[in-house]
């Protein structure tokens, strides 16, 4: 599909609406507009209607936009809020900043929910694509789901792993949850019913700590102690599609960019980029750091890759040239075990010093007050797709939900 040429729109809620729609399209794997129209249903929306919804300049009708957002796996509640603000701006020429700007720059984040129930360290957190559920995994071998609305459990704990669970990820549609465990398996769950899917566990030759879905939902990427990155084909019954070799030590983390790049980090301090297509996999070695590289994360636009190390430093590359864009900086006086981008310019780091910190990664300057409250080391941080909620996991046995605001439930 060619590049979508957007019409010029005025700064404010109209541009924000189109920006979010194009970001959603990118996360969904950039399907063609005719394909989107077909997926919505033959005769429901024409290709021209879908094209106009993406290119503007007029704000599309809500009924049309809702179908497109649902088809791409987006949050219709969020988009309806953005659409109301854009529609008001289009009609009156005046913005509604309190509606279309969910999180103002520099906003303070407060813990709204402390999620308790695990009997061991909470090792991973992940938001569902629509932001309504949070999944947590733990050294107690269980998987739990929570409502992000009020922090209450969603269904019963999901059991089946025979060792600590370290990795967790939702599929782009939200219909599948994958978890990775020290028991050498990856298990698949139905998050809506909080039950296991009728799919055999995916096997590794060693412990598994990392799992990530491709943004189009057709592949699942896993990695762990056997030094291998495995790519599973979800269109062919979870068959093993590729085994990526090159790491010389255990893999610590994986991430997948909106444009299909896979990033992997290992205990030997190496970070690699991979691209798996119809041809032989492309492997780019980004270098080796003296300390173990614990975690990796892509920015929402896929243009930036960050990695956190056990010596507390953070490293940043541009994916266009695969080169470092700045000198590493010390983010914590302890290992950095979790990373997440709040937006293309703001990186959140989770440290073993019990805190999470916001950074303008281009300047390595703190971009807000740290998140405080956990009583032990942080193991991961996650951001929902709307950028309006954060989640942290900790060795203190809890996960926490954070929102801009003062209250805790």
pLDDT of the chain, 409 residues: tens digit per residue: 455 778 888 877 888 899 889 888 888 888 999 999 988 887 788 889 999 999 988 999 998 998 999 899 887 878 887 888 888 888 876 444 333 334 545 558 999 999 999 999 999 999 998 899 999 999 999 999 999 999 999 999 999 999 999 999 999 889 999 999 999 999 999 999 999 998 999 999 999 999 999 877 889 999 999 999 999 998 888 899 999 999 999 999 999 998 788 999 999 999 999 987 655 566 788 878 889 999 999 998 888 999 999 999 999 999 888 888 889 999 999 999 999 999 989 999 999 999 999 999 999 999 989 999 999 999 999 999 888 999 999 999 999 999 987 544 4
Q: What are the beta bridge partners of residue 167?
A: 180
Ordered DSSP codes for 212-229: EE-TTSSEEEEEETTS-E
Task: State both tokens at 74.
Answer: 């987006």
Q: Residue written as tokens 């190390």?
A: 309
245 C-beta neighbours (distance < 10 Å), count: 11
Q: What are the beta bridge partners of residue 170?
A: 177
**Closest of 220, 223, 244, 217 to residue 232, by C-alpha:** 220
Question: d(Cα 378, Cα 336) in Å, to the nearest integer?
Answer: 9
Question: d(Cα 314, Cα 101) in Å, to the nearest integer?
Answer: 29
CB 131 within 8 A of CB 167: no
Q: Where are the beta strands (DSSP E) in 276-398?
A: 282-288, 293-298, 304-309, 313-318, 323-324, 329-330, 336-343, 346-351, 356-360, 365-366, 378-383, 390-394
CB 239 within 8 A of CB 232: yes
Question: d(Cα 202, Cα 20) in Å, to the nearest integer?
Answer: 34
Return left, alpha or beta for 249; rule: phi > 0 is left, psi -120 to 50 is alpha, else beta.
beta
Per-residue exposure over 122-155, b if at least 16 CB sit within 10 Å of its own CB, e if not: bbbbbbbbbbbbbbbbbbbbbbbbbebeebeebb
């Amino acid at each position: 599909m060619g590049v979508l040429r957007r019409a010029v729109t005025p700064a404010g809620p109209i541009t924000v609406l189109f920006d979010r729609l194009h970001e959603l399209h990118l996360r969904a794997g950039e399907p063609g507009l005719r394909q989107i129209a077909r997926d919505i249903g033959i005769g429901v929306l024409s290709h021209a209607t879908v094209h106009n919804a993406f290119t503007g300049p007029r704000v599309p009708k809500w009924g049309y936009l809702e179908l497109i957002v649902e088809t791409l796996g987006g949050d219709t509640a969020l988009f309806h809020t953005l659409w109301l603000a854009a529609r008001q701006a289009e009609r009156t020429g005046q913005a509604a900043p309190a509606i279309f700007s969910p999180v103002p720059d520099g906003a303070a984040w407060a813990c709204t929910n402390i999620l308790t129930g695990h009997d061991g360290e909470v090792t991973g957190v992940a938001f569902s694509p629509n932001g309504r559920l949070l999944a947590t995994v733990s050294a107690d071998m269980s998987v739990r789901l929570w409502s992000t609305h009020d922090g209450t459990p969603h269904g019963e704990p999901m059991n089946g792993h025979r060792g600590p669970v370290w990795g967790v990820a939702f599929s782009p549609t939200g219909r599948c949850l994958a978890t990775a465990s020290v028991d050498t398996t990856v298990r698949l769950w139905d998050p809506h019913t909080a039950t296991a899917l009728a799919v055999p566990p995916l096997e590794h030759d060693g412990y598994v700590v990392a799992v990530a879905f491709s943004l189009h939902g057709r592949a699942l990427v896993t990695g762990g102690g056997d030094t291998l990155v495995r790519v599973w084909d979800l269109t062919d019954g979870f068959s093993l599609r590729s085994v990526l070799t090159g790491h010389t030590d255990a893999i610590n983390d994986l991430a997948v960019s909106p444009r299909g790049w896979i990033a992997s980090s290992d205990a030997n301090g190496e970070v690699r980029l991979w691209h798996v297509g119809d041809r032989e996999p492309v492997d780019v070695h980004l270098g080796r750091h003296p300390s173990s590289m614990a975690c990796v994360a892509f920015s929402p636009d896929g243009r930036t890759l960050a990695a956190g190390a056990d010596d507390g430093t953070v490293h940043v590359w541009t994916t266009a040239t695969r080169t470092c864009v700045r000198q590493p900086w010390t983010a914590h006086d302890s290992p950095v075990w979790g990373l997440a981008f709040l937006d293309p310019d703001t990186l959140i780091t989770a440290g073993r010093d019990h805190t999470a910190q916001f950074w303008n990664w281009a300047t390595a300057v703190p971009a807000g007050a740290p998140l405080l409250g956990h009583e032990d080391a942080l193991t991961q941080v996650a951001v929902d797709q709307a950028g309006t909620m954060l989640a942290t996991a900790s060795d203190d046995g809890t996960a926490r939900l954070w929102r801009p605001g003062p209250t805790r439930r």
